[in-house]
Amino acid sequence: MQGMTKVGDGVTAAVLRRAPMFALLWWVLAEGQSEAWGLGAVAVATATSASLYLQPPSRRRFSITGFLGFAGFFLWNSLHGGAQVAWMALRPRPDLRPEFLELELALPVGSPRVLMLNTLGLMPGTLGVRLDGDRLKLHVLDKRLPVAASARALEAHIARLFGVEHRPPGRPRGGAVNDIKPQSGERLSPPSSGWERGEGP
Amino acid sequence: MTEFASTTLLLLGAFFYFAGTVGLLRFPDVYTRLHALAKADNLGLGCLLAGLALQADSLAAALKLLLIWPIALVASAAVSYAIARRADALRLAPWRGEQGENKP
């Protein structure tokens, strides 16, 4: 347990960091109207105290450079992912090679994993299906794409954003393509179960 | 110039919405359809909001439009994960190509 003064300092620092963010948010929501600030003060105070309750101040700090790096990576990849899936949908033959893959997450439990799971669905070709402990089941649209490498890159960006360690299993750094393996053993039901309505050429 | 950029972004947004809907109709199973919706529609929304923000009256109004994007992204990411997880829990097999055609 920390001493009372330390906890108190942490709370004050968190209030000083968070209240301006909520005030900025209110300014945006009110579209800059100054007469709304009475209600705004109440909203900012309520939001700040709710945030302290829901996300108590911790030593884990959000890094600004990490955030910019992540935002750039995310924007670029959602453009790439959207354009790719648009092309796949519009081309004469969809030519998909879907597959389930399993990825061992190298991020700590909590917000980093939640962010990873959620952003994966917007990255090119991947969709999070189920998180079981450390193992994340992914659905990929085309198994010929280098999805493992891009999932690891996303993971590294998230690790930097939260200032946590990133240790992919197997190789210490880089592509780490081999630690992602098809779930060939997991034929959930025969391919001709009538569920799929293959719209071929 | 701003007018042109805004129009281009709005048209791009419409294009990605169109592509996402075509994907929803053409793709073979629930998982692949989620890919189309999550990615293409979110990019469409992003383009649409950026195009509208360029025409906004004030900085605050433009930021408010842009704020919609991350919030909608969070909702859509959570919903597509929820649908995919449910489909998996119901043991819906993913589509693996035409019989005998899609073998590596």
pTM tops 0.90: no
Work out the minimum CA distance from B65 to partner chain A, whole angstroms: 9
Three-state SS at A103: strand
Please state the length of chain B. 104
Yes or no, beta carbons of A82 and B91 under 8 Å apart: no
Query: Which of B39, B81, B92 to mutate to probe the A interface, most A CBs <10 Å?
Result: B39
Determine the Cα angle at A80 with ends A176 and B64, to 5°: 120
Interface confidence (ipTM) of the complex: 0.84
pLDDT tens digits in sequence order for chain B, 104 residues long: 889 999 999 999 999 999 999 999 998 889 899 988 888 989 999 999 999 999 998 999 999 999 999 999 989 988 988 999 999 889 887 888 764 454 44
Yes or no, beta carbons of A85 and B94 under 8 Å apart: no
Chain A CB contacts of B60 below 8 Å? 27-28, 30-32
- Pairs from A11-16 (Cβ < 8 Å, separation ≥ 24): A11/A52, A11/A57, A13/A57, A14/A52, A14/A57, A15/A48, A15/A52
Provide the residue ranges of all domains of chain A, joining segments of one domain with +.
4-54, 64-182
Work out the minimum CA distance from B52 to partner chain A, whole angstroms: 15
Query: pLDDT tens digit string along A138-164?
Result: 888 888 888 888 888 898 988 888 887
CA distance B50 to B68: 10
CA distance A42 to A123: 38
